[in-house]
Amino acid sequence: MAFINEKNQEINFKVVYVGPALSGKTSSLEALHKRTRGKSKSKMLKQESNPRTLFFDFMPLSLGKVGGYKTRFHLYSVPGQVLYEDSRNLILKGVDGVVFVANSEVDQMEANLASLKALESNLSDQGLQFKRFPHVIQYNKRDLKGVGEIKALKKLLNQYKAPDFETNAKKGEGIFEAFSALAKAVIRDYAKVS
C-alpha cells in the first residue's frame, strides 16, 4: 500500500521481485541499480542470512509527479526457495506491484509454475486478487540454450495477459522496460483509488 510522505512531497510505492530460486531476481535488481543515476537511488542492501535477497529504493525522474507529489519506488527481491515462505509473506505485505521473474529454461517450468501459484496464494492471503493486481512478467535467461518457446511460456505463466518481457538480467536487457511498465501500472492503480 502506497505511503505518502507529506514532508518530502513523495508517494512511496513498494515493488517486489518474485520468482523461483535462481530465476534472476537479484540480477534484475542489480541491473536496475546499475542503470539508475546518482542521487535517484539508495545503496543496495543485502540480507546477511541470504545474500541473494536485496533491497534498494529509487526515484525515477522520468515518471513525473502524481497529484504534485514525486514518486519513489522501494524495490525488493524475495528468496525463491520454499523454506523462505515466511520471509516472502512478510516482504509481500503492503506491496503495490510485483515483477514475476520466470526462468526460461525448459527444465524450470514446474518451479516457475509453483512459484507463481505461491505468489497468487500469498497475495490472496492479503485480500488481493492477482489478476487485478499490478504485475508484469519477465521471461529471463533468454540468452541460454534450452529455453522454452515464448508462446508456451506465455500460455503457462501469463493467463491474465499482463505486460511481459523477454529479458537477460545479466546483461540488463529488457529489465528497465519491464520495471517501467510495472511502475506505470502501479501509478495508474494508485490514481484509481486515491
**Domain with 82 in it: what CATH number?**
3.40.50.300
pLDDT tens digit string along 75-132? 888 876 655 677 778 889 999 999 999 999 999 999 999 999 999 999 999 999 999 9
The range of the structural domain enclosing residue 31 comes to: 3-189
Q: What is the pLDDT of residue 30?
A: 86
Residue 97 lies in a domain: yes
pLDDT tens digit string along 168-179? 999 999 999 999
Buried b (16+ CB within 10 A) or exposed e, 69-81: bbbbbbbbbbbbe
Of 4-8, 134-138, 142-146, the range with the lowest mean pLDDT is 4-8
Residue 138 lies in a domain: yes
Q: How far apart are CA 31 and CA 72, in angstroms?
A: 18
Residue 80 lies in a domain: yes
Tally of domains within the chain: 1
Give strand pairing partners of 100: 18, 137
| Dihedral angle sign, alpha carbons of residues 70, 181, 101, 114 | positive
* Residue tagged 542492501 (cell numbers): 45
Q: How far apart are CA 159 and CA 43, in angstroms?
A: 35
Residue 119 lies in a domain: yes
The mean pLDDT value for 120-148 works out to 97
Residue 180 lies in a domain: yes
Q: What is the pLDDT of residue 61?
A: 45
Residue 194 lies in a domain: no
Q: What angle do CA 16, 14, 136 make, to 5 degrees?
A: 45
Residue 160 lies in a domain: yes
pLDDT tens digit string along 6-58? 998 999 999 999 999 999 998 998 898 888 766 666 666 666 555 555 554 44
**pLDDT band for position 133 (cuts 50, 70, 90):** very high
Q: What is the pLDDT of residue 156?
A: 97
The mean pLDDT value for 147-158 works out to 98
Nearest-10 Cα torsion for 164, 168, 170, 174: -50
